[in-house]
């Protein structure tokens, strides 16, 4: 078959408006016909539309090693520039999903629920949320990630607990879900291997922030978890991984379309990261604040968002008749100690040592960032707060690098507060002053004091 014929047979077309599939009915995905990856790149590079067969051939080839990193980065860049339409995005996500195994929990009781956050500074909701959902009768098979850009990752936060491991074998994942009702673990090697490879490449090539690539990356992993319901927390505001609310809404819309297409009930909560959730930023700090929440206390914004997401999850998976009763069950699980009991069992199952319900120690050094003048605190750039933590050693600067779980920031004043010159705005815990100067410089960029009270910042909303 000539190249043109082969490409037509596989559904190749040069122009978007001319696109139609011409697929031999005998050819399924994984057909033996192989396309030169450069021809796939050319389609997208020239603004064309990729057929499901071309996408599958390319992604299968990438996982198998037939398609090289340089091919994949060229295609990703073309997708970055031209995007993927709905049919392409669905096919891309399906091929990612089918690149590995999918969990099957059909032999287990209890609906499987999870939540995913698009990431923000000080976002620790998953930590109190997951055990509370288990205490309310759900099971939570949570595959989670590490810090991304200036935002922290749940796995890094949990690893502040001495002994705790997040790289679990599939046998442990299975038995822990049955015995404890939850796990929070890193992506296993056979779960969406296409995403493992592509994500590392996107990170290295500066190609993370593309809506179709983010949507397919997250949804392929969540679909592989074998869920009955998912809550998606789309963050916006300066502390969010995607600060622009319009981008957040676009992401929510594309992920909702994917969830519908794959038959996964999903609720979207849109929440503001104009300020960190609660007061704590940094790994041990955030575990300690999550423990406060699990003890029935904790800062109101963190507790309210956790309860909202839990209520939505219980409603979506049929464990609550309406949002109010779902929220009430979540609140009770914090107050009667049942969520804390699950949390302790979960930490123990994953290797946590010592008194697992006691606060973790933080780095010994203490310093403060002071208000530069009197007035009202406003326009706090929480991206800079995340970068300030990174400066102390609290976030990775390279893939696989180390981080200090004990350093952190405690936010002592919030947007709109009246402050006096010299008043402490942030309490810093550091180790031997490492990175302290840079941290203070970033905090100085983050904080602005105005003479008049500013408008309030964004609120949390649920999208249907």
Q: Are 128 and 136 contacting, i.e. CB atoms less than 8 angstroms apart?
A: no
Among 76, 138, 191, 218, binds ligand URA (CB under 6 A): 218
Least separation in angstroms between CB 41 and ligand URA: 20
- Distant-in-sequence, close-in-space partners of 394: CB < 8 Å, separation ≥ 6: 282, 283, 403, 404, 405, 407, 408
Task: Tally helices (H) and strands (E) across the chain.
Answer: 17, 13
Q: Which is nearer to ligand URA, 135 or 242 (CB)?
A: 242
Q: Which span sits near ligand URA by CB under 6 A: 3-11, 173-181, 208-216, 275-283?
A: 208-216
- Of the listed 71, 146, 150, 221, which one is catalytic? 221
Q: Give yes or no: 114 in active site.
A: yes
Q: Give yes or no: 217 in active site.
A: yes
Residue 333 contacts ligand URA per CB under 6 A: no
Residue 223 contacts ligand URA per CB under 6 A: no
Q: Give yes or no: 222 in active site.
A: yes
**What is the distance between the alpha carbons of residues 360 and 291, in angstroms, rounded to a whole number?**
10
Cβ neighbours, 10 Å, residue 370: 17
Q: Which is nearer to ligand URA, 35 or 214 (CB)?
A: 214
Q: What Cα–Cα distance (Å) separates residue 158 from each residue in 152, 179, 180?
A: 11, 20, 17
Rounded to a whole number of angstroms, the CA Rg of the chain reads 23
Least separation in angstroms between CB 84 and ligand URA: 13
**What is the distance between the alpha carbons of residues 306 and 304, in angstroms, rounded to a whole number?**
6
Residue 306 contacts ligand URA per CB under 6 A: no
Which residue lies nearest ligand URA, judged by its C-beta? 217
Q: Which is nearer to ligand URA, 237 or 406 (CB)?
A: 237
**What is the distance between the alpha carbons of residues 245 and 235, in angstroms, rounded to a whole number?**
8
Whose structure tokens read 């450069």? 38
Query: x/- contact string, 168-207, with ligand URA (CB under 6 A)?
Result: -------------------------------x--------
Residue 76 contacts ligand URA per CB under 6 A: no
Q: Give yes or no: 220 in active site.
A: no
Among 117, 166, 217, 309, binds ligand URA (CB under 6 A): 217
- Of the listed 44, 49, 115, 150, which one is catalytic? 115
Least separation in angstroms between CB 145 and ligand URA: 5
Residue 243 contacts ligand URA per CB under 6 A: no
Binding residues with ligand URA: total (CB under 6 A): 8
- Of the listed 56, 114, 156, 381, which one is catalytic? 114
Give the three-class secondary structure for 53.
helix
- Of the listed 202, 235, 247, 329, which one is catalytic? 202
Cβ neighbours, 10 Å, residue 214: 21
Q: Which span sits near ligand URA by CB under 6 A: 7-15, 93-101, 151-159, 210-218?
A: 210-218
Least separation in angstroms between CB 73 and ligand URA: 15
Q: Which span sits near ligand URA by CB under 6 A: 126-134, 212-220, 278-286, 347-355?
A: 212-220
Among 127, 184, 214, 281, binds ligand URA (CB under 6 A): 214
Q: Are 227 and 137 contacting, i.e. CB atoms less than 8 angstroms apart?
A: no
**What is the distance between the alpha carbons of residues 146 and 157, in angstroms, rounded to a whole number?**
9
DSSP string, 144-195: E---BTTB--HHHHHTTSTT------HHHHHHHHHHTSEEEEEPPTTSSHHH
- Distant-in-sequence, close-in-space partners of 378: CB < 8 Å, separation ≥ 6: 415, 416, 448, 449, 450, 454
Whose structure tokens read 């990630």? 145
Q: Give yes or no: 154 in active site.
A: yes
Q: Which is nearer to ligand URA, 10 or 79 (CB)?
A: 79
Residue 126 contacts ligand URA per CB under 6 A: no
Q: What Cα–Cα distance (Å) separates residue 272 from each residue in 44, 130, 233, 301?
A: 35, 21, 10, 10
Q: Which is nearer to ligand URA, 145 or 386 (CB)?
A: 145
Q: Give yes or no: 244 in active site.
A: no
Q: Give yes or no: 116 in active site.
A: yes
**What is the distance between the alpha carbons of residues 196 and 360, in angstroms, rounded to a whole number?**
31
Residue 145 contacts ligand URA per CB under 6 A: yes
Q: Which is nearer to ligand URA, 21 or 148 (CB)?
A: 148
The alpha carbon torsion through 193, 194, 200, 202 (nearest 10 deg) reads: -160
Whose structure tokens read 């673990």? 185
Q: Which is nearer to ligand URA, 383 or 442 (CB)?
A: 383
Catalytic residues: 114-117, 154, 202, 217, 221-222
Interacting residue ranges for ligand URA, rule: CB under 6 A: 145, 148, 199, 208, 213-214, 217-218
């Amino acid at each position: 078959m000539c190249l043109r014929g082969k490409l037509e047979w596989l559904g190749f077309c040069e122009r978007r408006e001319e696109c139609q599939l011409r697929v031999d009915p005998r050819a399924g995905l994984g057909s033996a016909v192989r396309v030169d990856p450069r021809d796939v790149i050319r389609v997208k590079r020239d603004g064309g539309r990729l057929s499901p067969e071309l996408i599958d051939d390319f992604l299968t080839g990438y996982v198998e090693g037939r398609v090289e990193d340089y091919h994949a980065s060229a295609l990703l860049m073309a997708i970055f520039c031209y995007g993927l339409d709905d049919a392409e995005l669905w096919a891309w996500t399906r091929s990612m999903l089918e690149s590995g195994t999918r969990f099957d929990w059909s032999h287990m009781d209890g609906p499987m629920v999870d939540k995913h956050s698009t990431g923000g500074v000080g976002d620790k909701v998953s930590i109190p949320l997951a055990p509370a959902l288990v205490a309310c009768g759900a099971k939570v098979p949570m595959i989670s990630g590490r810090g991304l850009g200036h935002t922290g990752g749940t796995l890094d936060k949990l690893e502040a607990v001495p002994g705790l491991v997040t790289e679990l074998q599939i046998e442990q994942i299975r038995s822990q879900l049955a015995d404890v009702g939850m796990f929070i673990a890193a992506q296993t090697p056979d779960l969406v291997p296409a995403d493992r490879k592509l994500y590392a490449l996107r990170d290295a090539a500066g190609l993370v922030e593309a809506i179709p690539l983010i949507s397919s990356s997250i949804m392929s992993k969540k679909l592989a978890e074998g869920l009955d319901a998912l809550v998606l927390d789309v963050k916006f505001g300066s502390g969010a991984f995607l600060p622009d609310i319009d981008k957040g809404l676009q992401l929510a819309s594309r992920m909702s379309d994917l969830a519908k297409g794959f038959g996964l009930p999903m609720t979207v909560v849109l929440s503001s990261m104009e300020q960190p959730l609660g007061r704590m930023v940094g790994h041990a700090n955030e575990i300690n604040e999550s423990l406060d929440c699990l003890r029935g206390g904790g800062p109101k914004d963190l507790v309210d968002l956790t309860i909202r997401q839990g209520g939505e999850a219980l409603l979506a998976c049929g464990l609550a008749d309406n949002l109010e009763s779902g929220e009430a069950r979540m609140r009770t699980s914090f107050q009667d100690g049942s969520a804390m009991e699950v949390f302790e069992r979960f930490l123990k199952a994953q290797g946590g040592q010592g008194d697992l319900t006691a606060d973790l120690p933080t780095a010994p050094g203490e310093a403060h960032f002071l208000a530069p003048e009197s007035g009202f605190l406003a326009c706090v750039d929480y991206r800079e707060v995340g970068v300030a933590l990174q400066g102390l050693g609290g976030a990775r600067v390279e893939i696989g690098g180390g981080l200090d779980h004990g350093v952190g920031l405690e936010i002592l004043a919030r947007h709109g507060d009246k402050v006096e010159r010299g008043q402490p705005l942030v309490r810093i815990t550091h180790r031997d002053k490492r990175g302290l100067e840079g941290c203070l410089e970033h905090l100085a960029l983050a904080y602005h004091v105005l003479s008049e009270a500013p408008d309030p910042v964004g609120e949390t909303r649920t999208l249907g």
